[in-house]
Structure 1
Amino acid sequence: MADSPAVRAPLDPKEQPILDKLLSIRTRLELLRQDRSTYVKSSDVVDLYDEVIEQVVVLDGLRTSNRHELNRVDTVLDDCFQLISLSYLTIGKNHEPPAVYAALSTMKRLLDHLKEATFFSPKDLESIGSRLQEFREYCQRGQGKYSPHLLSLLEARIEICEKILADLELALSQLTPELAPQYDKLVSILRSLSACNTRSKFPNADVEDLLEQLKEVYSTLQPYGIVAFESTGTKEEKLAEMAAKLRLAVEHPEPAPEAKKLIETLLQRCFLWVATIKQKQGKIAEGFRETYDKLLEIRNKLEKLALTHSWSLRETDLYSYQRQLDRIDESRVDGNFLDSLGRPADIYEQRTLLYLLRKSYATIYHLIVSSEPVSEALLPIYNQLTTLRKCLLEVKKSGGVSSPRELYPYSMKLNSIDNMRVDGKFMIDKDIPDGQGSVIQLLEECFELAYELRTEAEDES
């Protein structure tokens, strides 16, 4: 397996034994990830975590200088932590510090891309801010239970994310409450335009609809003195003016631009992007076709996983997607995608590829943070109960049942699940998988809903 992309310093010969052991651990984690014949056991993951920490302690003792230089040990160690982190999610230990590592790595990528894009919604930042607070709480609860080396690493990464987040919040700090909805709408339109641009057949009608929405938003902004262009000339002259202004804004960014300038810049980007994608009609230059196809394939696979994740996703599956995206992201030079001859992409290819890259990272992040704190061993039961709960809520919403007999199928299924418990716990072979509390709570909620429906039916009969 190829290592994660990173700039490497020469390997200190003293670190070779550590590297050998980490490579062995990574291989075992990979085998654990790929083995679909059985579920991932908590004991296996925790044992491998302990082995990784042992090597971290040894490494820390060896490194007394050049602590910020990365060599192959660091990249393989990162692989191990990523796999351990995703494995912790797989076994339902979502609220433990090791599970935070993968989420923070993806969050850092997302924040970097938001900063590079220079447009984002306040809702994006609010969501990330609340997650960072949760991650910090998980780490605080892990004090004394988990290695201080891991906790220090996570704390440092949280602080880095918080610093970038603060910069992004500052960039929107001048946005007034009355203009925030229009700004959000413009962000949504720009993202929707980029999504249209990556469809197999270019959707001219959808793009025209988005253009009309853009014009409507623009009309509501003009009373505030917000204008995308001042020219009264031809369409080409207006586009040229907007391009010049946008270029100036990009070359001379302000930490906290005024709301007027912030929205004008975003308006210009939207109008210019509409014109660009309508001209290109989804046609990617041949020199970037391979990268485009790869990113499109990853995006599509991840979106499919997002639709079926509660039934089919093993969180460790995300590892290979993460690494593929990292390699593509880190192959950029000064932020630019290059073709085989080293020539940078033009603005159309650049933004199209960045959209796919960012969308994929965002989907991975969503899948990580929406992972249920339930071991994959219990997921079949958990998913059945989730479906039962939805059905019972729908029955209740539609007015209940006319007779208790109508609830028999639900009651039989609930009782069959309840009878699977041994001494109150759901056991798989001799193991007690994590996530017992979530499953039992869901089971009790289903029983309560069924009882309410039965009582109502009996009272009415």
Structure 2
Amino acid sequence: METPKIPAPRDEGEKRILAELMSIRDQLQLRKLDRTTYVRTQDVMVLYEKTIEQVRQLNAARTGKKSEENQGNGLSRAPDKVAPSWVRLCFQLLSLFFMTIGRNNEAPAAYSLTSTIKRLLDHLDEANLFSAKDLASIEHTLERLSAIVNNTKTKEPAPFLETLLSSRIDRCRETLDALKLRLKEYHDTIIPTHERLVSILRQMAAINTKPKFKPEDINKLRAQLKDIESQMVDGHFVGPEGKPLAGSEQVIALLERCQTYSEIVLEKRGQFPEQWKFVYDTLTGIRNELDKLSLTQAWSLRETDLYDYQRQLDKIDENRVDGNWVDAKGQPADLYVQRTLLYLIRRSYGYIYHLMISSEPVSEALLPIYNQLQTLKRCLIEVQNSGGVSSVRELYPYSMKLNSIDNLRVDGKFMVSGDIPEGQGSVSELLSQCYDLNYELRVAAEEMAEQEKPGSKDENE
């Protein structure tokens, strides 16, 4: 992992603080790489408290100073701007560690997620390609994060972290509101067409970045574009009264954008310029790995794994000059390269966002048990939906599994290596739900067996 390039502090006190933060960052990195043991809550909290203490000291050292870096307002006002990169990297890692130990509903866990949301919103704004569904998910997440931050009981010495997170959430909401305002320009009748075009353009971008390019896949989408174009009247999308609908011009521009892009993609046929091949291969590699993680998340993801992907994506994204990439000769990337790389970056951040919001508030130490119960619950629901069981005997495998998991508890707690990991309530609740489903199926099977007995009440009548 690259060391961030930051000016060395001139103040001796800040040099000492920076050295401490570097040491904390290194310890977090080493702990992240260790897959031999589960991440323990107490280990994370020790490093978190050390980070908070160093930032408190940095705040105190900068209070009253007036310099280009500080402007006299300390770290608490705008940590993202005035804090050294080591502070931000420590918070980024600690945030993912909080998710790993199952403390998703605490303020520190929100730090990394707010960073990802800000990137996503900026890219949606830049690409001008989004739908109401994209914004709805982000809005819901921001509301949840805001509630977490507001409900967090402020404890010294970390009030600045809540201030920072609130500021980040507010900035995200500003961008979100601006994007929502654009969608309000569209008439309700034309929104489905707009969403369909957004989906088509994204599908073409995905096809363009597949290992094997198939022109027929693009041609199928071009046929859909022609179908949409055929719905126009005199060059406009019109309503029942025959007048152009609000948003017609924007949708027409998006249609033309899709048509132009499809022509470029068919011309390139999956071939990427050599000078951009390294960046392209790096981004497709990240996208593909994140795609695999999204399919196996419950069993294979440790949230701290996302840190390396974030750092790589951030570096590539920040290497742009005036919104575009520049090659070794100083030449900017052409439109095809720029759009392809931007798509890959946006898609990767999208995967990271999905993986974060899907993270369960359960420590990785309890995840094997939690995942087994999730699978067991799905099986029981499927059995219930398909008509139940014909005899109680068919429920024996489920009952035995539930009892085996229940027997792992010590004094009502699931213990792992002598520790009581986070997420006890979530696991216990899931176990209880499985017991309830199993009981309902057993009662239904017993009632059915009773009705089928010779000489039962129904037969005697």
TM-score (norm 1): 0.90
Of the candidates 64, 80, 90, which is equivalent to residue 80 of structure 1?
Answer: 90
Bigger CA drift: 204-213 or 315-324? 204-213
Q: Which runs of 5+ in 2 are unaligned?
A: 71-77, 239-244, 450-461
Bigger CA drift: 65-74 or 288-297? 65-74
Change (3 A) 1:162 1:73: closer
Of the candidates 169, 175, 178, which is equivalent to residue 164 of structure 1?
Answer: 175
Aligned to 2:204: 193
CA distance in 2, matches of 1:304, 1:102: 21
Of the candidates 306, 314, 336, which is equivalent to residue 294 of structure 2?
Answer: 306
Change (3 A) 1:222 1:17: farther
CA distance in 2, matches of 1:301, 1:451: 41
Aligned to 1:211: 222
Aligned to 1:20: 19
The answer to whether residue 116 in structure 2 is matched with residue 101 in structure 1 is no
Q: Deviations over 1:118-161 (max 9, x none)?
A: 11111111111111111111001113247211001111111111
The answer to whether residue 406 in structure 2 is matched with residue 395 in structure 1 is no
CA distance in 1, matches of 2:247, 2:146: 32
Higher relative contact order (CA 8 A, sep 6+): 1
Count of aligned pairs between the two proteins:
430
Compute the displacement of 1:10 (Å). Answer: 5.3
Aligned to 1:175: 186
Compute the displacement of 1:221 (Å). Answer: 4.5
CA distance in 2, matches of 1:428, 1:156: 38
Q: Which one has the largest radius of gyration?
A: 2
The answer to whether residue 349 in structure 2 is matched with residue 361 in structure 1 is yes
Compute the displacement of 1:224 (Å). Answer: 8.5
Do 1:89 and 1:315's aligned partners in 2 also have CA atoms closer than 8 Å? yes
CA distance in 1, matches of 2:304, 2:434: 30
Change (3 A) 1:77 1:418: same
CA distance in 1, matches of 2:113, 2:145: 9
CA distance in 1, matches of 2:319, 2:18: 25
| 1:147-296 matched pairs, under 5 angstroms | 147-222=158-233, 225-226=236-237, 259-296=247-284
| 1:336-415 matched pairs, under 5 angstroms | 336-415=324-403
Aligned to 1:220, the other structure's residue is in SS state: coil
Q: Deviations over 1:77-99 (max 9, x none)?
A: 11100100000000000010000
Compute the displacement of 1:223 (Å). Answer: 7.6
- The letter of the residue matching 1:312 is S
Do 1:404 and 1:454's aligned partners in 2 also have CA atoms closer than 8 Å? yes
Compute the displacement of 1:11 (Å). Answer: 2.4
The answer to whether residue 56 in structure 2 is matched with residue 57 in structure 1 is yes
The answer to whether residue 148 in structure 2 is matched with residue 138 in structure 1 is yes
The answer to whether residue 114 in structure 2 is matched with residue 115 in structure 1 is no
- The letter of the residue matching 1:11 is P
Aligned to 1:235: none
CA distance in 1, matches of 2:82, 2:154: 30
The answer to whether residue 44 in structure 2 is matched with residue 45 in structure 1 is yes
Aligned to 1:240: none
> Percent identity over the alignment?
51
- The letter of the residue matching 1:387 is T
CA distance in 2, matches of 1:69, 1:418: 46
Aligned to 1:456: 444
CA distance in 1, matches of 2:111, 2:80: 18
Bigger CA drift: 210-219 or 113-122? 210-219
Compute the displacement of 1:413 (Å). Answer: 0.3
CA distance in 2, matches of 1:143, 1:219: 58
Do 1:3 and 1:76's aligned partners in 2 also have CA atoms closer than 8 Å? no
CA distance in 2, matches of 1:155, 1:221: 45
